Structure 1
Amino acid sequence: MCRVVDLQQAVLAKNETTAHALRTGMAARGTTVINLLSSPGSGKTALLEGELLLARERGVPVAALSADLATENDARRLARSGVPVKQVLTDGLCHLEADMLGRHLEGWLPDSTRLVFVENVGNLVCPASYDLGEALRVVLASVTEGEDKPLKYPTAFGLAQLVVVTKTDIADAVGFDEPAFRAHVEQVNPGVEVVLTSARRGEGLGVLLDRAMAVADGEPAHEPVMGRRHRGHHHTDGSPQTNGSHPHAHPHDCADDPGQSAYVTSAGPSAQPRA
């Protein structure tokens, strides 16, 4: 058991080191990384579609990377916005890691990119433990997932720097209790902002982009209490401190492979899948 724990801690420690380097490198080139986490089917792709279109209208240079176990569907949808989009197929791996993200951004991300949105694999367990070098971590939950979602996934919500509620157009139909949800978020992450959105109605559209731009312009993001204890901190010798919230390693056939990139576009809807 001790050897397993040591391996798990080593995996996370290596990821923290890589994430720190990636964060530093992105900041040096003037690019801000936004990590989007949610359960499958939360509506993050629909929301991101609207945010990318709005960014293009405002003249903000943005890009998006979408990670999934299979299919290129999300990248095709996001590419309709006309911004650079890349699909990463993890071939069964349930999360992105900093090294994987760095390899996919290298040589692809346009130099002028101000914001890069990373749509993580749909999963609120594993991705919560892996820092991707992001400057802003956003956790999304739809109104259909229940008011106690933050209590069931305290690490994901506890490390969020922004919480987004999606599909509010059907909140009444499913009996969503907004005050209860907000109270549960506050319980695991005091002071974090909760934003209500509906991609269908356009409610809350632009708030995510505004918050991302504020961070890009130097405004400090929310600092979770859990984050102060675990995430992104360094020891006095400069070595990263691992996230102690959910340490685990995933043996995988593609563990040394950053994931196959199946769909890449710099031109938007006219681009075709790359073999």
Structure 2
Amino acid sequence: MCRVVDLQQSVLAKNDEYAQRLRADMAARGATVVNLLSSPGSGKTALLELELSTARQRGLTVAALTADLATENDAVRLARSGAPVKQVLTDGLCHLEARMLAGHLDGWLPEATRLLFVENVGNLVCPASYDLGESLRVVLASVTEGEDKPLKYPTAFGLAHLVVVTKTDIARAVGFDEAAFRANVAQVNPGVEVLLTSARRGQGVGALLDRALAAGDGAEVHRPVMAVPSAHHHS
């Protein structure tokens, strides 16, 4: 058992090194990385498409990299925004790693890019432990997923700089208890902002973009009580 934990520590420590290097490289070129994590089907692709379109309308230079185990469906959808988009197929790996991300950005990311949105693999377990050199880590959950989601995935929600609720247009129909959800988020990540959105109705669209731009401009980002991701594997 110790050997497995030690190996995991080693893998995460190496990832953290790459992440710090990538963060410094991106900062040097004036780009900000936003890491989007959620379960499959949360609606993050629909919201991201609108955020990219909004950015383009504002004249901002943005790009997106989307990761999946298979298919290029999400990249096709995101490309409709007009922003540069790259699909990463992970060949069965349930998360992105900093080294992998850096390799895909090399020679591809347009020079003047101000914001890079990374749509991580749909999974709230594996991706939570890997720093991608992001300046803003966003965890999304739809109203259909249940108010106890933050308690079931405390690492993912506990390390978030921002929590986004999606599909609020059907909240009443599915009996979503917003107060209970907020209380559960606060239990694992006190003080983190919870943003309500609906891609269908346009609610909250542009707000994620604003938070990302602020983070890139040096605004104070919420500091989770939890330690850095790799610390969760030290015990």
TM bucket by the smaller chain?
A: over 0.9
CA distance in 2, matches of 1:150, 1:2: 28
Residue of structure 2 equivalent to 1:180:
180
For 1:118, the aligned partner's letter is: V
C-alpha deviation, 1:183, in angstroms? 0.4
Contact 2:44 2:140 in 1 (8 A): yes
Correspondences of 1:134-213 after superposition (within 5 Å): 134-213=134-213
TM-aligned CA deviation for residue 133 of structure 1: 0.3
| Contact 2:9/2:233, CA 8 A, preserved across alignment | no
Whole-angstrom distance in 2 between the partners of 1:49 and 1:174: 24
Gaps of 5+ in 2: none
- In structure 2, the residue matched to 1:107 is 107
Determine which of 208, 214, 228 is the counterpart of 1:230.
228
Deviations 1:80-128 (A, max 9, x none): 0011000000010000000000000110001100000000000000000
Shift of 1:53: 0.3
1: CA distance between counterparts of 2:233 and 2:157? 13
Aligned with 1:65: secondary structure?
A: strand
State the alpha-carbon separation in 1 of the partners of residues 8 and 217 from structure 2: 36
Counterpart in the other structure of 1:245 = 232
Is the radius of gyration larger for structure 1 or structure 2?
Answer: 1
The normalised TM-score by structure 2 is 0.98
Residues 1:220 and 2:207 are matched in the alignment: no
SS in 2 for 1:244: helix
Rounded Cα–Cα distance in structure 2 between residues aligned with 1:4 and 1:166? 37
The equivalent residue for 1:97 is 97
Task: Give the residue type in structure 2 aligned to 1:244.
Answer: A
Identity %: 79
Moved runs in structure 1, 4+ residues, more than 4 A? none
Quote how far apart the aligned CAs of 1:244 are: 2.1
CA distance in 2 between counterparts of 1:246 and 1:6 reads 9
Who is 1:70 aligned against? 70
Report the equivalent of 2:13.
Answer: 13
Partner AA of 2:13 in structure 1? A
Partner in structure 1 of residue 125 of structure 2: 125
What SS does the aligned partner of 1:18 have?
helix
Partners of 2:145 and 2:139 lie apart in 1 by 13
Q: What CA distance in whole angstroms lies between the structure 1 residues aligned with 2:232 and 2:174?
A: 32
SS of the residue 1:245 aligns to: helix
Q: For this pair of structures, how many residues does the alignment match?
A: 234
- Aligned: 1:50 with 2:58: no
TM-score normalized by the length of structure 1: 0.84
What is the RMSD of the two structures over their aligned residues, measured on CA atoms? 0.8
What secondary structure is seen at the aligned counterpart in 1 of 2:231?
coil
**Pairwise CA distance, 1:217:** 1.0
Cα distance between partner residues in 2 of 1:70 and 1:43: 18
Report deviation, 1:246.
Answer: 4.6
Q: Secondary structure of 1:24's partner?
A: helix
How far 1:245 moved relative to its partner? Answer: 1.7
* Cα drift, residue 187 of structure 1: 0.5
